[in-house]
Copies of this chain bind each other. A is one copy, B any other.
């Protein structure tokens, strides 16, 4: 056996796909490409070790020698060259742990595990991080400067507890509700995002089909990857919302809203938190190889002089002079309900109500624009302290940091009508329309589990008494001003 070729870990690792699958077992390197489909335990168990050392897994199920008896000797490609073992090779990707996070077992880079093995929203991100184009994952996952707000969005939900009630009949559940009068099966909508095409060519079109299939609503971005008319054509008779970036060239916005009216969309979400461009540093460090075309405006998006960063390339058309008085102009262009997207203080929520909008979306843009802006769930709590009357007067939505069905229920208990999810739908889009459908099903399943266990059967039973927010309440302002500072600045210059 000494005459066998020595094969390096580097070489072995290349044979890591269904069509070209090698395994190491007890130091021997086997080509199991042809055998895998016939494996009594299923091909997936083998693929899990494609291009890697399967000795340990093999030993758990099989007697030593079985592989020699089963495979023809032509499948024996050589011996593992142990001097080439490095950390990458030895890292065990398949040992279960009892830690608080149970990551999905990933395949060799570039291979996506089957959709049915994905059991939560974190799996979708984990897989996108490994298998999506680097530029896409970086653009989607990044956030402004220190990424503090992005991370806090998620952790604030973890700091809110349930106060479950027992012994209620929960044998029939209903997760449906209405958003601005539109019936939805799950209180979740797809937030508008840019550059969805980077992860899947069908982009918003695939999301539209998933939205219809699962009974939720997609909000179409001003900078969507496909023309609005093409997207809505994917889901006839299904409601859509539109997200509006007001253009410096107001005419373009007018034309856009005219089209939105014509196409029968159901509401306009006006983004009000993008007056400045966020500094997204992961993204800025990426070298941009190819130009990007905005499919709505038709403009070619070019790098600015900073030399990189998709964020910096985009958004130059945003109107930084947009102010409260412009709402009347928008109102004049459409009879659709108008929702302001990007409220982060109770004071602005109150102003929005006074200006007569139909809803507000509490959002910090996924932490992508202003770092250290507050998580939406805290703004919801601030509204309970400072302007609780708004909950009776218009619909309030939140987005940012929602990863579990339980997070959705927490937001609804605190007064939200529905929640938006952005990034995770992009990660799910890695699997096309089916991925997005699967994500909604997972969230719905988690919601139902939580509803039963806190003792409610439909969403109208959600109320603040079902959650304990004491771990975050000290962070919630009780006044529009600073709690003790009396100093007022004198105007300079």
Q: Footprint of B on A, CB under 8 Å?
A: 8, 45, 82-88, 90, 96-102, 104-105, 116-117, 119-120, 129, 134, 137-138, 141-142, 145-148, 150-151, 158, 160-171, 174, 176-178, 272-273, 275-279, 281-282, 284-287, 306-307, 320-324, 326-327, 340, 342-345, 347-348, 351, 369-374, 381, 384-385, 388, 391-392, 404, 406, 414-415, 445-446, 448-455, 458-465, 467-471, 473-477, 480-493
Contacts and interface: CB of A to CB of B under 8 A. Distances in A.
Contacts of A119: 279, 281, 284-285, 306
B471 A384 contact: no
Contact of A487 (B147, B340, B464): B464
Contacts of A391: 487
A275 B477 contact: no
B483 A475 contact: no
A413 to B, nearest CB: 8
B285 A452 contact: no
A488 B391 CA distance: 9
B165 A347 contact: yes
A204 to B, nearest CB: 23
B460 A482 contact: no
Given A83-B82, A285-B105, A477-B163, A493 B177 contact: yes
Which secondary structure dominates chain A's binding surface?
Answer: loop
Contacts of A404: 145-146
A200 to B, nearest CB: 19
Contacts of A451: 276
Contacts of A320: 169-171, 452
B373 A164 contact: yes
Contacts of A287: 45
B449 A464 contact: no
Nearest to A340: B166
A167 B102 contact: no
Given A164-B344, A347-B165, A373-B162, A470 B487 contact: no
A340 B151 CA distance: 39
Contact of A385 (B97, B147, B452, B484): B484
